[in-house]
Structure 1
Amino acid sequence: MKKIFKDNRINYASTLNERFDDLCKRVISSLVLLPPTVLLIWIGGLAFELGILVIASCMLWEWGGLIAIPSDRYRTRLILVVAMLACFLMALVFCFSAGMVCALLSGSIFVIFAKNLRIVKLFWLGVAIIATIIPTLGIVWMRSHIEFGLETVIYVITSVIATDIGAYATGKIIGGPKLLPKVSPSKTWAGLAGGIAASMLIAAIFTIVLKDARGPALLPIAICITLVAQIGDLLESSIKRHFNVKDSGTLIPGHGGVLDRVDGMMTVLPIITLAIWISGRSVLQW
């Protein structure tokens, strides 16, 4: 009995140490990445667009590693980068609607002609193009072409980050029933509630700080952002399970790859972009 008790204590201590090390890596990575990210968002313009282009390139590089067999990875990554550059050029030279249409068309065309390009994963090639380029074009459009663009981008990003932190912290502290254990064993219903609470807190802060922000609209928007961000997180988890990998990459210590860090953002941004485009106003003004 003493030996079993001792072994259990050792295993528990080892688990705590692993969690602490993982948390430390996450915190350090966030502190390193946060200042340049905030600076680029604040500056806007060409610097912000180039920064988004770099992030999109990293994401597509990771997609290439996920969806292609080793012998096809160089070719797949080259095709993804060419598609991204074409879409960004269309958006910046003509209009962002042209860039979005280009993303949809290029995704479809590459899927149709993927056999001629000797790419194995036909469907996933189109998914990678559309799922990466449309959100990245969306955030560039929001920052540069709408009223309260800076404030809107900051709100969306902080809401998604708050959702991640709230869900992660609440899930670790409270635990409880799993959300979708077959897709993501670590996610819990308590974590989802914590993410909603954190996102609503951000909405309340923006309502207080910005006189043009409207609280009655922002609170339900905060809940929607949390739900959509969690869906994005679960979708990325299911994709990684499909390809039998733990992380999309190793670029960010404690987080894995860029896709692991922005998975929730990739589902939230297209919906927010579409909502703003249809309404003609920032979500802060609803």
Structure 2
Amino acid sequence: MRIASAAVLAPVAIYLVYRGGWAFTGLVMLAAVLMTYEWARLVRGSHLNADYIIHAVTAIVSIGLAGADKPLLGLLAALAGVMLALVVVILRGQGRRWPMIGFPYILLPCIAIVWLRSGGEWGMLTLYWLLAVVWATDIMAFVAGRTIGGPKLAPRFSPAKTWSGLLGGMAGAAVAGAATSLILDLDVAVLLALISGGIAVIAQIGDIAESALKRYAHVKDSSHLIPGHGGVLDRVDGLIFAAVAAALAALIGVLTEQGQGIGLGVFVV
């Protein structure tokens, strides 16, 4: 079931990254709404409440603005959603505010991914590179952790993760980065391998963060939306952290005028 689900979902994601535009933005919107449902389930124990509705509507609006080439307005819309949800929490007299973290946790990566894809061909290649790095990280971390084992990486939050798994994931990501450079004939294999290794660390942090959230909620999976895989958050926990890191790097390149446009081109100037 796990392999069958991946065989269906992965080609769809790869194709929509290629298409870009509103087809890809729609995919990200759908993913954001589903992740919002899972977040509400984890931190509240239910999803049919005002918080979920505000969060879901904010996700659609903010990602839609980013897809319309207005990422700054998208960020402002996300901030407005946070403020509105916080007001609702205060008016209810609820003491716990930390569930508001769900807004940046979900919306920032989604806006970042849509913004990266808006960079034309380089944006498309950036997302393909990012997917390859994250997938390589997950696969090699699993293989190394299972075959080598050893000291635990973060036993309090994710008992199954090991230092050998982290190093294996970094190695897999580095190979994916170097391969990307060779395939695109960029002649920066070493640089992109180092960057990809760093992205692997960030992706693993995202994985551990989601594991900590599930331990808080006393559940094994964020949901059962994807047969054999659990929930959407379970599948993209590393990607959402990695996407923000890649977008920040691209933004720095744009602001310092060291890159042509946005995306992978920033890394290879």
- CA–CA distance in 2 between the matches of 1:91 and 1:206? 27
- Contact 2:221–2:234 under 8 Å retained in 1: yes
> Is 1:190 the equivalent of 2:164?
yes
Q: Which residue of 2 aligns with 1:32?
A: 8
Q: State the superposition RMSD in angstroms.
A: 2.0
Tell me, in whole angstroms, the C-alpha distance in 2 between the residues paired with 1:180 and 1:196: 16
Give CA-to-partner distance per residue, 1:129-184, whole Å, 9 cap, x none. Answer: 11111111111111113561111010011101110011011111221211111111
Q: Would you say the 8 A contact 2:17–2:124 is kept in 1?
A: yes
Matches within 5 A, 1:204-215: 204-212=178-186, 214-215=188-189
Which residue pairs with 1:145 in the alignment?
119
Query: Which structure 2 residue ranges, 5 or more long, are not aligned?
Result: none
8 A contact 1:251–1:258 mirrored in 2: yes
Where do 1:1-286 residues align within 5 Å? Answer: 25-70=1-46, 73-93=48-68, 95-116=70-91, 121-124=96-99, 126-145=100-119, 148-212=122-186, 214-280=188-254, 281=259, 282-283=263-264, 284-286=267-269
Moved more, 227-236 or 77-86: 77-86
SS in structure 2 at match of 1:185: strand
* Aligned AA (1:123): W
Question: Which protein has the larger Cα radius of gyration, Structure 1 or Structure 2?
Answer: 1
Alignment length, in residue pairs? 260
CA contact (8 A) 2:63 2:74 kept: yes
Whether the 8 Å contact between 1:167 and 1:194 is mirrored in structure 2 is yes
Instruction: Name the CA distance, whole Å, in 2 between partners of 1:30 and 1:249.
Output: 16
Distance in 1 (alpha carbons) for counterparts of 2:13 and 2:69: 27
Residues 67 and 118 in structure 2, CA contact (< 8 A), matched pair in contact too = no
CA distance in structure 1 between the partners assigned to 2:148 and 2:102 by the alignment: 35
Query: Residue 213 of structure 1: CA displacement?
Result: 5.8
Structure 1 residue 119, shift from structure 2 partner: 6.4
What's the counterpart of residue 18 of structure 1?
A: none
Alpha-carbon separation, structure 2, partners of 1:135 and 1:151: 17
- 2:42 partner letter: L
- AA partner of residue 208 (structure 2): L
**Contact 2:140–2:165, Cα closer than 8 Å, also in 1:** yes
Q: Secondary structure at the match of 2:117?
A: helix
For the 8 Å contact 1:196–1:226, the answer to whether it is kept is yes
Alignment partner of 2:15: what SS? helix
| Cα distance in 2 between the residues matched to 1:255 and 1:99 | 30
Task: Return 251-260 or 84-93, whichever deviates more.
Answer: 84-93
Gaps of 5+ in 1: 1-24
| Partners of 1:103 and 1:129 within 8 A in 2 | yes
The offset of 1:106, in angstroms, is 2.4
**Matched residues in 1 for 2:162 and 2:69: separation?**
45
Which whole-Å CA distance do the structure 1 matches of 2:3 and 2:106 have between them? Answer: 25
Q: Which residue type is aligned with residue 73 of structure 2?
A: A
- The residue matched to 1:179 in structure 2 has which SS? strand
Give the residue type in structure 2 aligned to 1:103: A
Q: What percent of counterpart residues are identical?
A: 34
SS of residue paired to 1:116: helix
After superposition, the C-alpha distances for 1:18-50 in whole angstroms (9 at most, x for unaligned) are xxxxxxx43222112111111111111111111
SS of equivalent residue, structure 1 residue 85: helix
Deviation per CA, 1:64-97, whole angstroms, max 9, x where unpaired?
1112244x63333212112212313443456101
